[in-house]
Structure 1
Amino acid sequence: MKRKSSSRKIGIWLAGARGDIATTLMVGTLAVRAGRVSSSGMVTEIPPINDLDLADLDSLVFGGLDVIEGSLVDTARIVARRSGTYTYELIDAIESDLQAIDEDIVYEPTALWGPDSPVETRPNMSMFVSRVRSHLKRFKERHALEHLVVVNLTSSESLPVETEAHETKAGIELLIEENRSESLTPSICYTQAAFLEGCSYINFTPNPGSDLKGLHELADQQGVPFYGNDGKTGETLVKTALAPMFAYRNLRILSWEGTNMLGNGDGKTLDDPDHKVAKLRNKGNVLDSILGYSPHGGIDINYVPSLGDWKTAWDLIHFQGFLDVKMTMQFTWQGCDSILAAPLVLDMIRLSEFAARQGESGPMYHLAAYFKNPIDCDELALYPQFQLLLEYVDSHLQRNTGAANLESID
């Protein structure tokens, strides 16, 4: 892994800091920067992306919030036992670092609510946003951070009641002021707090927040970069890479059936029909956009506790070729959800801090390849999305080369 010369201290504040993905992210970052494992899985470590002046992993300081109490070391051991993705020996080697991070993870039980929760269990919206802002301020001051990136890694939420107020900054402020909790979610509040505190924001969940136009307006006013939604790590990743092949060969897809099975906390949450609405919508939109037509498509998400953090997707593609002959393709994707997701989050942390340092703000369209439902991006095929990132990198590398040439002339 290339080491950067930067000595900047960059804060990473994780909503859902004791979840499987967040825990794997922190364990993995500590392991990579200690030289105990490779940087495999990190897109920011392949050329030419690794030529950008990205934050060194040594400069990252972790903190966050969760609705459950506990020790990060204990959580890491639970993940290791359940998934087998890293060893107890590794946890022992980085235990002191994990314990240090624990001091910056806030227990916030009031964050466990939604529009479908009893009204009496929901916190006051203004107080909740203020409390999250206070957590961010303390974390930033405690470590003298030069920039703070907020990442939403929480479980899927029920969708809020839609309202025109979501379309404007003033409208969202009024919803919060009037305590209109039916039209607000924890994720919307995290986004509001992050933007008000001048933080970059990454929404790796299907939850609303960074996609609301009123919050876009706030981000523009605050001059901060952001992007989302819903990280693309498994079956949908394969779909966005494979579907163009059928389009390029004029093989008409008649039906694409998919069954997804997972057993972690996210799987348990998605077992509730209200919580899987946004996830199913994001997974289902991909084929129509890439193919230009709508094949029959069935998508199931099933909770299988015994699988733990390992998810399995079985897909059947029924397609039509020359002479209208019908054929099939099947594939099985099995991978560890957290292992697939964590390096992508780490990539986007580095790229969003870089964007903020360049004075960029608003949606980071060059991160589209990381998401099932990229904000304001009609291109859902993987390769063209990845080209957006390469073009972004190339523009900055050329700019830096031009600046260096000018300095040499002077």
Structure 2
Amino acid sequence: MSPNVTDSLSLSPVPTYKVISPNVLYTDTHIFADYIYHNATVSKNEIGGTLEVTPTETKYKFKTEVNIPKVGLMMVGWGGNNGSTLTASVIANREKISWHTKDGLKSANYFGSVVQASTLKLGVDAKGNDVFIPFNDILPMVHPNDLVLGGWDISSLNLAQAMERAKVLDYDLQRQVKPKLEQLKPLPSIYYPDFIAANQSDRADNLIPGNNKKEHLEQIRKDIRDFKEANKLDKIIVVWTANTERYAEIISGVNDTADNILKAVENSHSEIAPSTIFALACILEKTPFINGSPQNTFVPGCIELAEREHVYIGGDDFKSGQTKVKSVLVDFLVNAGIKPIGITSYNHLGNNDGKNLSAPQQFRSKEISKSNVVDDMVAANEILYKPGEHPDHVVVIKYVPAVGDSKRALDEYVSDIFMGGKNTISLYNTCEDSLLASPLILDLAIITELMTRIEYCAGDMEEYEPFDAVLSILSFMLKAPLVPSGTPVVNALSKQRMAMENFFRACVGLAPQNEMLLEHKAPLFCQEKLIALNIVHDSNLQGFDGLVTMQPVSVQQMQPSYAAEFPIQDNSHSFYGGMLNFLGAFCGFIGSVPICPCFPNPYKKVEQGYVGLITQFGKFYKFVDPGLVKVNVFTEDIIRVDVKIQITEIPHQYIMTKDNALIERTQTTLRHTLGSRVLQDCIENREAIAYEIKEIIDEPASNWGVKVESILIKDIEFSRELQESLSSAAQAKRIGESKVIAAQAEVDAAKLMRQAAELLNSPAAMQIRYLETMSSMSKASGTKVIFMPYNTSDGSSSSLYGGDGSSSNSKKIDPIKATVYEQIAEH
């Protein structure tokens, strides 16, 4: 194990729910979900100026891998306040540590983490009550205790020293986690003095040598590979939690394209920031990278490289305290029809982040990320704000060492209200900076890893593909959300949370969450009813308990319309064809009269459940729906095609599975589906096998006009020899389990007997047994009892236990203050 690692110990979570829907399929490895995304496009009528809204729907397929990998989290700035606090907290949670404070006993938790400490609404129960589940149960997610931690820092202090320097955690907790943190030391990092404040130079004693940025890039790549190999990791997520840098200048030919920025790194160009070096290294190593500071790490060339390499990136700047409140409050004011006209945000802090931000260039990066947080909310209301109008917005940050990591935030919101009035809201917020930011690092890493296991398919896409490289779904945790080009930025906290929650619901085939509560607002559905597929269970209807009523469906729902006409070119067959058409129409007209049965009737009947296929001179002409259909008696024929769902039985057939087990299966043309699986899969994963078969035969079947609704595997028949083998294996397993249970019971009994022996050998226990023995002996006939008082403080009582009065055991027994009576039996 490398020295900068924390082990993972806990187990993966067990799913707590399952979606029962034809649109969702669970297999051992994936969750497949079909989802219809509803939206609306709006256009403006140029004549009347009316807004025209067109509902749209797009069909998506989602595939989520359910097997949770072993994941490493590497932090840039690991020895800082956030990194040391997060590492100590994960160890405390993993070890279930409790510690004392002046307020009492505290226990480790993950409060402040959306993934670990929040819930989401799954649906409603039969009584209409909301049902909630933990957020991390919606899809399989990595648990923080399972993360392997590591990283880089420009400071050489180990994590225990860094934790003490940060002064964030209580002393009693620091004392307990210190032995483990002392073993952890950050890897050397990159230090370019031009990008961070000069006051950070005294910490920079753990640096990658040299000034060659290409060599720095390659060293970071090597560190990632080595960390992954040393800890046998499947994936790594890298998060920047180091100092805020100044903004990098966007220069044409330097950092504007992927190729230019890689060339600029080779030339060690001065405008390539340390955070961009880390981002490029991660992208080239196919490792997701999250920027937790406000600088413009993701210059255009960096984003282009991420999209080209299909590697996830996210940013910028952790949204933990003051800005999170602002994104809620401004959203509330604007949606309430109140117009904020002035927002003043002041805060001071005393940690190293505040020290770095005391430099003007670094403060400017933070000011930009804090100021843009209200833009989308203001732009959404043209009633309150004219085009180009914006509230006055001022952000001030001061460095005050005395307050340490406990940041003070003061905000004032001045708003216009009804009839020229003014409303002022003032807030004072004490933010424990690192204790609020550390859980966000966990959320960002866990959700990013989850996104690497989700793929989608839509439209004419033939294969599942990953999402856009820019992870806008992380917006809830970030001040200045990075979004794909052309995507609107959303800062309102409620919308960001809703987007994240509904996206994960879509991955399991669930509709977006809304608060319409129609089941309570619509009078006919206010009673306790089960509503599914037009079936209503009403326990109060006409006094009958448990009556089930069926709502009739419309004719259109019973059978869709297939009516269509094919264009036929040059099918008149000249004079001959024209004469036949004329005679057919004439004879058909006469035949339609009931008193002329000698002429053919042109009206034909198509039954419900069938479609009429009409041919003209032998060519397909048109489809007609059920009902009475008129045809030309000489030139047209009608063929009735059954379109009802039919069940086709496929004869049994012998198939050899991957592990050479001979079984009978009901598939003939798809033997390779079974041949690629072992026997255990055939027994346990029938749904997955059926789904795989359906996927294969859907396309060729549709080419013949057949739609395969579903495939069911009814039975798997084993040969007699295999049945006997399976029975023997099961019996052997049961015998083995019983032996393990018996052995465990013997071990437990031995432990208990050893504990009992140790207890009975103690002086106190021997004294009790002595008194009990004397008491029982005194009850016997012919017994003489003599009472002799004495003091045990002189150690003479040790003779009762066979000692000499000076043994260590006798000294451990408190002197008996009352009089002790010795009973001597005589026979």
TM-score higher than 0.5: yes
Larger Cα Rg: Structure 1 or Structure 2? Answer: 2
Identify the match of residue 188 of structure 1 among 258, 271, 276: 276
* Residues 239-264 of structure 1: per-residue CA shift (max 9 Å, x gap): 10000111112211121111111111
The 2-side partners of 1:31 and 1:3 are apart by 18
Q: State the aligned residue count.
A: 395
Q: Residues 406, 379 of structure 1: CA spacing in aligned structure 2 closer, same or farther, 3 A cutoff?
A: farther
Q: Residues 116, 35 of structure 1: CA spacing in aligned structure 2 closer, same or farther, 3 A cutoff?
A: closer
The 1-side partners of 2:267 and 2:154 are apart by 24
Please say if 1:354 is aligned against 2:450.
yes
* Residues 39-88 of structure 1: per-residue CA shift (max 9 Å, x gap): 21111123342112111223211111111111211111233xx33xx333
The 1-side partners of 2:83 and 2:324 are apart by 20
Please say if 1:90 is aligned against 2:177.
no
Match of 2:191 in 1: 111
Match of 1:338 in 2: 434
Please say if 1:291 is aligned against 2:378.
yes
Please say if 1:178 is aligned against 2:267.
yes
Q: Secondary structure at the match of 1:39?
A: coil
The 1-side partners of 2:489 and 2:144 are apart by 32
Report the identity percentage: 25
Please say if 1:40 is aligned against 2:111.
yes
Q: Secondary structure at the match of 1:154?
A: coil
Q: Residues 273, 300 of structure 1: CA spacing in aligned structure 2 closer, same or farther, 3 A cutoff?
A: same
Preserved CA contact (<8 Å) 1:114 1:122: no
The aligned runs of 1:8-407 (5 Å cut-off) are 8-36=69-97, 37-45=108-116, 46-48=118-120, 49-51=135-137, 52-79=139-166, 82-83=167-168, 86-102=169-185, 105-108=186-189, 110-114=190-194, 123-164=211-252, 165-181=254-270, 183-209=271-297, 211-292=298-379, 293-358=389-454, 360=466, 362-376=469-483, 377-398=488-509, 406-407=687-688
Which structure has greater helix proportion? 1
Q: Secondary structure at the match of 1:156?
A: coil
Preserved CA contact (<8 Å) 1:115 1:161: no
The 1-side partners of 2:322 and 2:426 are apart by 12
Deviates more, 1:304-313 or 1:213-222: 213-222
Task: Please list every run of 5 or more consecutive structure 1 residues that lacks an aligned counterpart in the other structure.
Answer: none
Give the letter for the 1:4 counterpart: P
Preserved CA contact (<8 Å) 1:379 1:385: yes
Preserved CA contact (<8 Å) 1:77 1:91: yes
Preserved CA contact (<8 Å) 2:68 2:141: no
Preserved CA contact (<8 Å) 1:156 1:269: yes
Give the letter for the 2:429 counterpart: W
Preserved CA contact (<8 Å) 1:288 1:295: no
Match of 2:382 in 1: none
Q: Residues 115, 367 of structure 1: CA spacing in aligned structure 2 closer, same or farther, 3 A cutoff?
A: closer
Please, what TM-score do these two structures have when normalized by structure 2?
0.46
Give the letter for the 1:369 counterpart: F
Preserved CA contact (<8 Å) 1:140 1:148: yes
Give the letter for the 1:374 counterpart: P
The 1-side partners of 2:165 and 2:180 are apart by 17
Give the letter for the 1:106 counterpart: L
Q: CA deviation at 1:122?
A: 7.7
Q: CA deviation at 1:152?
A: 0.3
Preserved CA contact (<8 Å) 2:164 2:174: yes
* Residues 84-137 of structure 1: per-residue CA shift (max 9 Å, x gap): xx33332333334323433xx2133x424335899xx98211111111112111
Q: CA deviation at 1:149?
A: 0.5
Preserved CA contact (<8 Å) 2:354 2:399: yes
Q: CA deviation at 1:33?
A: 2.4
The 1-side partners of 2:172 and 2:255 are apart by 48
Query: Quick one: higher RCO (CA 8 Å, sep 6+), 1 or 2?
Result: 1
Q: CA deviation at 1:406?
A: 4.2
Q: Secondary structure at the match of 1:111?
A: coil
Q: CA RMSD in A?
A: 2.4
The 1-side partners of 2:171 and 2:196 are apart by 39
Q: Secondary structure at the match of 1:113?
A: coil
